[in-house]
Structure 1
């Protein structure tokens, strides 16, 4: 009996057809063979639409080499495509539309603003959301600055800590603000002090050409001056149930306003960082359990709202009192944070779970929850 086939759908990073997560896919293909799942990688560019064939990237664990082979369409698709400003992304949208009838393990989520609005519908989640507005004018900036001495400006769509400004109202200085951040290419902006009128001008310029959020800042600065947060990975398991795979702490690079690993941050075990941050192992354990409960409920709610999902990463802020805030939700999460924190078992599990879930979907002839009509922006 032939093995079930899973196609990992991704996008090339450039015209040279480089893949961002090739090493991850290599490990997943190897693990897939061990559990009886045939896995290959492809992009929309590799589809021969008239023949319904795919010029797939295939990895052979025995030789350690990649090759190209023409393959029929897989029974299931695991969508790893992140938003790009490119013709490749437009090609992806057409692919998703044309092959919408196929079994996708995961469907796209919407942008950060729509996810925030969706969470805001339920009191269960409202208490865990930083105050957030969609930026239209200086009035939005001033509204959140009145209630929060620190705010962030972030793109409504985007990942990796790009295009983020951190603004802090300085104490004992009349109407002056400290401003720092990261540009779209992740370069750190040197901190500087500006007046309110200058701040309004900078933010207006920053937000030209896109949609941006103004968000309340949560106090996350460690004693050494670096910022931190927590990455929690929620995945479907081999029984089709949501489960927390793991949680890790992220500490940002020096002078960085974000904790993203791509921006030079480093990872540590969540329980270690939480114990130091909250002051005791008991408080850390309580925060971990509350975070897990929140993450499982959030995943189920977002799946009900947007359609089939197989995994989500929640970026969490936890303040000194142990209050938990959802900063972002990432439906295409990297899992290197666990490898970098030294938690090799959680990293292995994070790679294996989508494969085990794919087998469950195949064996149950289950197309997962219904397809949403909403599209990614």
Structure 2
């Protein structure tokens, strides 16, 4: 069925009854919508029988504002929105949408200008992208989910942010930033029941553990070459074995993010080992005469967090600051993985992790590689990074039983030009690919809407 956007105009109930919609003759012909008999009007989980009133004077759709409000559609001023429309003759269903719900961690009702804090501008960007593509988006939090599987309270933008009741969406983009929120019973129940009752699709439905990713990819012969040796740190014998093979190793919290809790362990030229702990201000060094003493110092951390121990790599550097790369892999309008962006991230002064939250800076891949100590292997580095990211995204999708629509893939180049996988993030920050500017819709945001349309069949 051809995908198209039509104009939807809201009128007073005195002009149009709440059980009828007016459709332009051109729309009726193009979509082969019957003129007689009621049809089922569908918007997300909302369903209602309505009569069709043909009109030669309009080329879109009109409905009463009261009917639109029951559907969760608020147009603001002027009172017009654009939505995709399709008709299924087998079920006599006229579907508008897609209706996209973005699940975010928290809202701030007392700050009407910035109800989502620092991500409000990103939410506005999503609103504008949906307008352009004929989708309708709302934002909701775990605290707004009630007892009804048919809908939830959520925020819409109509010139101002307002909180309204909306039907369960066609697609949910899970942007929760903590496992605690993701595992709340009301969140898990809402997602499970909307899937079952309404066929709602949810993508990026779970966090990824580092060991889960590496274990899954290890069984793929084509992807194994990107993996530094990694193990879950269960005992001191694993640490001794790794430190005997590599001059440095990294300990990473299995469920960590933003570089928090990473420890680099290095053999000293004299007897002993050095542990460098990543902190918000840089790093903290401690030396130990034996690995046993070092391992004992981690006992309290390991009681509360599981750690992955990973082979240390000799990364390319710019001015003695390590460089890595963040690729954003997304599914496109055809449901296929593609690489939307890839950027270099250079660690800040006095840091050995490159996250922006730790003072890292972004630059184009070509610029970073040209400045780094990689020599003759720099020529096709950007292409090899892109190919690796694409293959890894496909591998994660095939190996891990969950639905992902976008993945942040952290890669590295060593001084010989070899590509390595550092980490896969199922909740990638949009600030780590391209700068967010007022009024500009980035490719990554447009791609998310295109994939949502694909999932919803629009």
TM superposition score category, shorter chain reference: 0.7 to 0.9
- Contact 2:330–2:405 (Cα < 8 Å) also in 1: yes
- Alignment correspondent of 1:369: none
Write the distance in 1 (CA, Å) between the matches of 2:97 and 2:156.
Answer: 15
- Could you report, residue by residue, the CA deviation over 1:66-106 in whole angstroms, capped at 9, with x for unpaired residues? 22111111111111123344697554344434444321234
State the SS of the aligned residue for 1:235: strand
1:111 aligns with 2:205: no
- Contact 2:263–2:277 (Cα < 8 Å) also in 1: yes
**What's the CA shift for 1:36?**
0.5
Corresponding residue pairs, total: 354
**What's the CA shift for 1:337?**
2.4
Q: Alignment partner for residue 442 of structure 2, among 342, 348, 359? A: 348
Superposition pairs for residues 28-177 of structure 1, below 5 Å?
28-50=126-148, 52-60=150-158, 63=159, 65-85=160-180, 89=184, 91-101=186-196, 102-171=200-269, 173-174=270-271, 176-177=272-273
1:182 aligns with 2:258: no
1:265 aligns with 2:265: no
Q: Alignment partner for residue 323 of structure 1, among 418, 421, 424? A: 418
Extract unaligned runs of 5+ from structure 2.
1-84, 86-95
Superposition pairs for residues 9-20 of structure 1, below 5 Å?
9-12=103-106
Higher strand share: 2
- Contact 1:268–1:341 (Cα < 8 Å) also in 2: no
> Computing the radius of gyration over CA atoms, which structure comes out larger, 1 or 2?
2
State the SS of the aligned residue for 1:141: helix
> More deviation in 115-124 or 223-232?
223-232
Pair 244,221 (structure 1): closer, same or farther in 2 beyond 3 Å: closer
1:362 aligns with 2:444: no
1:334 aligns with 2:432: no
- Could you report, residue by residue, the CA deviation over 1:288-311 in whole angstroms, capped at 9, with x for unpaired residues? 212222222222222122232211
Write the distance in 2 (CA, Å) between the matches of 1:93 and 1:264.
Answer: 35
**What's the CA shift for 1:156?**
0.8
Write the distance in 1 (CA, Å) between the matches of 2:341 and 2:149.
Answer: 42
- Alignment correspondent of 1:224: 319
Write the distance in 1 (CA, Å) between the matches of 2:182 and 2:171.
Answer: 25
Write the distance in 2 (CA, Å) between the matches of 1:93 and 1:362.
Answer: 21
- Contact 2:374–2:417 (Cα < 8 Å) also in 1: no
- Contact 1:11–1:89 (Cα < 8 Å) also in 2: no
**What's the CA shift for 1:323?**
0.7
Pair 327,14 (structure 1): closer, same or farther in 2 beyond 3 Å: farther
Give the CA RMSD over aligned residues.
2.7
State the SS of the aligned residue for 2:223: helix
- Alignment correspondent of 2:384: 290
- Alignment correspondent of 1:299: 393
Pair 51,214 (structure 1): closer, same or farther in 2 beyond 3 Å: closer
Write the distance in 1 (CA, Å) between the matches of 2:295 and 2:109.
Answer: 38
**What's the CA shift for 1:318?**
0.7
Pair 104,329 (structure 1): closer, same or farther in 2 beyond 3 Å: same
- Contact 2:278–2:284 (Cα < 8 Å) also in 1: no
**What's the CA shift for 1:14?**
9.3
> More deviation in 142-151 or 299-308?
299-308
Write the distance in 1 (CA, Å) between the matches of 2:140 and 2:436.
Answer: 30
- Alignment correspondent of 2:3: none
Extract unaligned runs of 5+ from structure 1.
365-377
**What's the CA shift for 1:50?**
2.9
Pair 285,26 (structure 1): closer, same or farther in 2 beyond 3 Å: farther
